[in-house]
Structure 1
Amino acid sequence: MMLVNTLRRLKWMIRFGKGGHSLRELPWIKGKLYVNRSGTLRIGKRVRFVGKPWATQLTVEKGGVLEIGDHTFINAGVGIAARQRISIGSDVKIGPRTSILDSMYHQLDANDSPDASKPIVIGNNVWIGTRCTILPGVTIGENAVVAAGSLVNKDVPKNVLVAGTPARIIRELDIPEGWIRQ
C-alpha cells in the first residue's frame, strides 16, 4: 500500500498512470490518501480528497477499474475498493467514513464464490452522506441523495432521496436540468 501525502506524488502517479491532466486540473489532497493500485485508476479533473482526521483509501485490485469523474469530492475516512469495476460520476459528493465495495472479499459458506464481485455505478451529481455503505452491484442514478448512515444494497433511481438500512426511497427530488450541487 502506498501513502500519497503530497500533491506532487499524486501528480506523478496520474501523469505516468495515463491520467493526462494539466497542472490546473490535478486533484487536490488535504491529509492522508492511501492508494493501493494493481489495476486501473482513472481520476478526473479537480477531484478533491480529504484525509483528515481519518485517512482516505483507494484500492484497485489486479484487473479492476476505479473511475472517478471530474469535480468529485471524497471526504475523510472514505474507503473505496474495486475488485472488478467502480465508476463514480462527475460532481459527486461522498461524506466521511463511507464505504464503497464491489466485492464482499470473503466467503460466508461453501456456496459463495470467493471471486464474486459486481460493478458499482454512481451517476453524476450524487450526494452520499456520512457513514453510508454502498454494496456490490448497485447503480445510483443521477442527482440522487443517499442520507447519512444508509446501507445501499439495491439500485437507486435518479432524482430521489433514499435513507435507512436497507435504503428505501423517501421522496422524489425536483432537480432542474443542468443543476449542480455546491
Structure 2
Amino acid sequence: MGPSRRNLRSHHHASSSSSAAINEPFRPAFDVLDVDHDGRISRNDLQSFYHRFCHEVDDDTIGSMMTAADTNKDGFVEYEEFARMLEIAVCGGCGGGVMKEVFRVMNKHDGDGKLSHKDLKSFMEWAGIAVTDQDIDDMIALGGGGDRSDGVSFDGFMQILNLEP
C-alpha cells in the first residue's frame, strides 16, 4: 500500500474522521514540529526538533521562524497559523522557502539535493510514522523518481505532498 494521499499521522494523533485529514492537510507536519504534543509549536519545540533531527540552530533563526508564523503574537504557533504560513509559502508568497527548509532538513544523509530512500525512511521513522520500504519506494515513484536509487527532487517532494510549486 503506497502513500497516495493517505493520512500519515502517527498513531497518537490519528483521527477517525477522514474530513479532518482533508480540512487539515498540514496536520502531519505540524504534529512533527509540536514535539511536546500540546497542540501548539513553541520555541522549545523548534529547538528540540532541530536538535534531535538534524543540527543545532541559532536563537535568531528560531526567533525569525516564530515571528513569521506567530501572527497573534502569543508566543506559540497554533495549527491555523502554521497552515496559513505554509499555504502562503506554497502559493508563492515566499517562494516555497518553508518547504525548501523542510526538504533540506530531510536531505540530511548526503545533502545531494534529492531525498533518497534512506532520507525518507529515516525521517518517517524519526517522526513516528510507520512506513514500509514499499511505501518509501511508492513515494519516490510518486515524486517522479524511477526507483529507490533515483531519489526525489524538491519538485518531486512537492508532488508527493500534492503541493506542486
**TM-score, normalising length: structure 2:** 0.27
More strand by proportion, 1 or 2? 1
* Structure having greater relative contact order (Cα 8 Å, sep ≥ 6): 2
More helix by proportion, 1 or 2? 2
**TM-score, normalising length: structure 1:** 0.25
